[in-house]
Amino acid sequence: MCDYTQVHYKCSHLRYTVRAWCTRYQETQKRCQPNVVAIEYRLDENCGPSKMSSPSIA
C-alpha cells in the first residue's frame, strides 16, 4: 500500500497527498489501496485558488 497524508483545509475539504509510492505502484503504475500514515491541518489555507476573491484594482 502507498503511504498518504490526509490534509484538512480551512474550507473543510480534505486532500490526500502521497508520501511514498509502494513497490507495486513503481512497477505497474497502478494505484493500490491508500494507507494514511499522517494527518496534517492547514486551517489557514483553502484547498485551491479562491473563486470569491476579486482582482486588485490599480
Residue 36 belongs to domain spanning: 2-42
Whether residue 25 is contained in a domain is answered as: yes
As given in the structure block, the three cell numbers for residue 6 are 490526509
Q: How far is CA 2 from CA 25, 33, 53, 54, in A?
A: 8, 7, 36, 39
pTM across the whole model = 0.69
Whether residue 14 is contained in a domain is answered as: yes
Give dist(CA 44, CA 46) in Å, integer: 7
Whether residue 12 is contained in a domain is answered as: yes
Whether residue 9 is contained in a domain is answered as: yes
Average pLDDT value over all residues in the chain: 85
Whether residue 27 is contained in a domain is answered as: yes
Q: How many domains does the chain have?
A: 1
In the chain, what percentage of residues exceed pLDDT 70? 83
Whether residue 13 is contained in a domain is answered as: yes
User: Which residue spans within the chain are E strands per DSSP?
Assistant: 2-9, 14-20, 34-42
Residue 50 pLDDT > 70 = no
Whether residue 58 is contained in a domain is answered as: no
Residue 55 pLDDT > 80 = no
